[in-house]
Amino acid sequence: MNILHTRVCDILGIRYPIIQAPMGWVSGPALVAAVSNAGGLGVLANQLAQAGGTIPEPGYELPDAEEWNGNPNEWSRRAIRQVKSLTDKPFGVYVREDPEFLKMMVEEGVPVAVNSGGAPASMDFYKRHGIKVVHMGSTVAHARKCQEEGVDIFALSGFEGGGHDPGGHEKLTTFAGLPQVVEAVDIPVLACGGIADGRGFVSALALGAEGVRMGTRFAVTVEAANHINHKMAIVQAIDTDTVRRGERFADILRSLKTPFVKKLYDLESSGAPVEEIKAFMGHESIRVGGLQRRLLGEVQGDLVNGEVHAGQVSGLIKEILPAGEVIRRIVAEAEAILRTFGQVSNGSLSLAQCLAALRRP
């Protein structure tokens, strides 16, 4: 019996309610297929490029960033076909609100659309074509709007998370916001931010989530498309090695404290003039400059001048593993925790004994 089965599994057609975040430059076809094959839901990013120093298997090459941006719909189609060649399990795609992209999704039989921010768009289109929708937000109000619009699953993005806008402008944390969101809506809720193992998974379930969405843990896998330097920087990180930057310019990101990111954060925090920050970024657009710095870090592996995303949970991640092994370990640990607490409820263990058994050496 699968004791981790929830409504999320039924809606998405997956074995375990573990969803991989669609991380740009990270979530390529190999990672998506590996997660789906292991029983979770892999989700393809909408920006991909071949990482520096990597040699792809013939037929599974990724373009450089300029090539991808020059024809994103066609490259997305190729990436989707790569996923389908590697798995027959359900998978998702982070969508672009572009009629040609949406048409291509239907033509390629993509079963799950994933999006974030603002009011969910194109819902009539998705429902008409039988596509399930997972939408990410950061407040109770976001969750209620998603439910009103017909979203199938809401993912709560907490302040702890890596990447874009974790916690939103209200900076709500995952484990404070989660029970409030669960009480506010009837659709299933995913916990996103601060989860990398079975303990975090069970904690989310205890607060009412019906699954988890993880990014940073899957960024540190064999199949992830990002540069090895990005992966190793997370492995070597401690609890205080990330920062949420960009609030002055509506380009909010949580990243590791590379020399570039630390300097940028200092400039923002000290109230430096916008022109000085633009000069430091190396571009007239702070957002575009940030994208270029992320390419330097995550694709080219430059951890001095580049930026690499990661969540506060980075300090828990100590090794690069195959994505399937990540899911296997999370599931095994979660099941063991639930069984151990079950021994407390039937009287065969005291709570103190239970907690001692769960404490890692």
Every domain of the chain and the residues it spans? 7-227+316-336, 242-309
345 falls in which pLDDT band (50, 70, 90)?
confident
Q: What is the pLDDT of residue 272?
A: 93
* 200 vs 117: which has the higher pLDDT: 200
Q: What angle do CA 44, 115, 220 make, to 5 degrees?
A: 40
End-to-end, the C-alpha distance of the chain in Å comes to 30
106 falls in which pLDDT band (50, 70, 90)?
very high
* pLDDT tens profile 50-80: 999 999 888 899 999 999 999 999 999 999 9
Q: Which of 172-181, 200-209, 249-258 has the lowest mean pLDDT?
A: 249-258
Residue 48 has pLDDT above 90, yes or no: yes
Q: Is 306 left (phi over 0), alpha (psi -120 to 50) or beta?
A: beta
Q: What is the pLDDT of residue 218?
A: 98
CA dist list (Å): 5 to 13, 182, 266, 283: 11, 17, 45, 48
Residue 1 has pLDDT above 90, yes or no: no
Q: How far apart are CA 37 and CA 88, in angstroms?
A: 8
Residue 107 has pLDDT above 90, yes or no: yes
* 282 vs 20: which has the higher pLDDT: 20
95 falls in which pLDDT band (50, 70, 90)?
very high
Q: What are phi and psi of 296, to 5 degrees?
A: -60, -45
Residue 357 has pLDDT above 80, yes or no: no
* pLDDT tens profile 250-291: 788 999 999 999 999 999 999 999 899 989 988 888 889 899
Residue 122 has pLDDT above 80, yes or no: yes
pTM: 0.96
- For range 170-192, the mean pLDDT: 96
The answer to whether the CB of 31 falls within 8 A of the CB of 231 is no
123 falls in which pLDDT band (50, 70, 90)?
very high
* 60 vs 233: which has the higher pLDDT: 233
The answer to whether the CB of 162 falls within 8 A of the CB of 311 is yes
355 falls in which pLDDT band (50, 70, 90)?
confident
Q: What percent of the chain has pLDDT over 90?
A: 82
* 153 vs 249: which has the higher pLDDT: 153
- DSSP character string of 219-233: HTBTT--S-HHHHHH
Q: How far apart are CA 185 and CA 86, in angstroms?
A: 36
Q: What is the pLDDT of residue 186?
A: 97
Class at the top of the CATH hierarchy for domain 7-227+316-336: alpha beta
**Structure tokens belonging to residue 331:** 């599931």
Q: What is the pLDDT of residue 361?
A: 62
Q: How far apart are CA 78 and CA 76, in angstroms?
A: 5
Residue 190 has pLDDT above 90, yes or no: yes
**Structure tokens belonging to residue 76:** 């997305």
* pLDDT tens profile 28-39: 999 999 999 999
Dihedral over alpha carbons 57, 60, 61, 63 (to 10 degrees): -160
Q: What is the pLDDT of residue 216?
A: 98
